[in-house]
Structure 1
Amino acid sequence: MFIRNENFKQYINAYPAVATLITINLAIFIMTLIPNLGEEIFSFGVSVNGLITQGEWWRIVTAMFLHGGWMHILFNMFSLFLFGPELERIAGKMRFLAIYFLSGIGGGLVTLAIPDPFYASVGASGAIFGIFGAFGAILVRYRNSLPQLRQIILPIIVISVIMTFLQAGVNAASHIGGLATGFVIGLFFFKPKPIATWKR
């Protein structure tokens, strides 16, 4: 289910939304490595609570495409590469993108609850946790029909949440906010219906 055995061309053709998001994230990350330009991109796009509350709301979205280092972006893009395709297959391209972006925005809004105007964050983690939340909603909607998905995704969700609170420098508000947003949206998108009717 989450094992990718497509070649490069097959992957792009089968999962255009996931492939596009990965490409954009990697391209922007490479741009942030360029002297001067990288500092300008970060200055414009990083999520800073005080600046957002002063009206710079775009930062909630732009921060989703910025990452703080190689390990940060590689971990997030590997998670998107691994778990995104199955959700795109089930939901379709537009619903997948809605889950991804709204979850990232949800994580950004929850981050604003942190009582520190100088709190800054970047990363696609909130959106990726939204993918996990959407899978959680699928399990609720089809609780008796998908034992394989339950065996795989539930431990991943639990471990991811635990690691959120054990690791230093992690925006736990974004993770939990994204997870909750993806779950709620998933409950709306994945109303009970025969599994055979899912997009394939």
Structure 2
Amino acid sequence: MSEQPNYTPPASKPRISLKAMALTLILVLFNIAVYFYQIAFASPLESRESNLLLFGANIYQLSLTGDWWRYPISMILHSDAMHIGFNSLALLVIGIECERVYGKFKLLSIYIISGVGAALFSAYWQYQESLKAVDSFSLYMPINNTVYITIGVGASGAIMGLAAASVIYLFKTINSPDVPDIENAKLKRQLYNIIAMIALTLVNGMQSGVDNAAHVGGAVIGALVSLGYVISAKKSYLIDLLITAIAAALLIFAIYSISFSTDEDLLFEREFIYQEIQKEVTDANQ
């Protein structure tokens, strides 16, 4: 008598259940609620960019000189209705499946660690790019009092982390000898669809105005964290908690190491930005 496969196909679990997708729905609704709060109560200035700066957008001159709190805050901010709309849809599509296969604790861990890590990576990347630009053009550009800023907001880094986590899970499951051929083909289609979505996001991110560094950072961090969950030999809540604690500790260490720069030029730009925004606030209150 042949042995029965011990693989339980995902289809055997209910796909339409509010309880099964509760955390994803909460995250989506929370992001939407924050966006409405932005436009209703957190917009004292005329400029959308200035309001985002006040509220906690990720700006490398500020984030890397002590404003580490901008990393988690920026991932719940969105620039406009289209931005929050696309991110909410993407979070629903990716998050519901991720919540089903990983569970709520691991979903939330991947989401937060990927989102915060993506913002940190983006700030550091932009800083390094600014140093390259100075080296390349300092002989040709006149010195002036203009400071250029790039405002990073949105949950896309966290969503890319969840997408990468889905790829890790599907890849491992597809290569399991216990998966029936029919289910294997179905999982492969899901894998190809998610990989295509990630690729399209990164290609689209090459255009001006899109923070592609956050997309790349979120995907890499999400893949690494989920890899720890997937390959752990012993499945238990304590093991998952340990993996999460290690990932969070590494992220905190990276934030501490990078986000308190004493670079004089960076500190000058920080002071300049805060002076300019304070002028806007003063003018708006008069």
- Which stretch shows the higher mean deviation, 82-91 or 113-122? 113-122
What is the 5 A alignment of 1:84-163? 84-112=95-123, 113-115=125-127, 116=130, 118-144=149-175, 145=184, 146-163=187-204
Q: Secondary structure at the match of 1:28?
A: helix
* 135 and 69 in structure 1: CA distance in 2 versus 1, 3 angstrom threshold: same
Q: Structure 1 residue runs of 4+, over 6 Å off?
A: none
Number of equivalent positions: 184
1:185 corresponds to 2:225: yes
Q: Which residue of 2 aligns with 1:169?
A: 209
User: Does structure 1 conserve the Cα–Cα contact (< 8 Å) formed by 2:171 and 2:191?
Assistant: no
User: Does structure 2 conserve the Cα–Cα contact (< 8 Å) formed by 1:84 and 1:131?
Assistant: yes
1:16 corresponds to 2:28: no
1:134-185 deviation line (CA, Å, top 9, x unaligned)? 11212332343432322322222222222221x3210010000001111111
Structure 2 spans left out of the alignment, 5+ residues: 1-9, 46-50, 131-147, 176-183, 234-286
User: Does structure 1 conserve the Cα–Cα contact (< 8 Å) formed by 2:20 and 2:99?
Assistant: no
User: Does structure 2 conserve the Cα–Cα contact (< 8 Å) formed by 1:141 and 1:187?
Assistant: no
1:65 corresponds to 2:86: no
Q: Secondary structure at the match of 2:75?
A: helix
What is the 5 A alignment of 1:40-79? 42=52, 43-79=54-90
Cα distance in 2, alignment partners of residues 86 and 156 from structure 1: 15
Q: Which residue of 2 aligns with 1:198?
A: none
User: Does structure 1 conserve the Cα–Cα contact (< 8 Å) formed by 2:169 and 2:230?
Assistant: yes
Cα distance in 1, alignment partners of residues 105 and 232 from structure 2: 19
What TM-score, normalized to structure 1? Answer: 0.83
Q: Deviation of residue 103 (structure 1)?
A: 0.7
Q: Secondary structure at the match of 2:40?
A: coil
What TM-score, normalized to structure 2? Answer: 0.59
Q: Which residue of 2 aligns with 1:32?
A: 38
Which amino acid letter does the alignment assign opposite residue 24 of structure 2? V
Q: Secondary structure at the match of 1:120?
A: coil
Cα distance in 1, alignment partners of residues 197 and 57 from structure 2: 28
Which amino acid letter does the alignment assign opposite residue 164 of structure 2? G
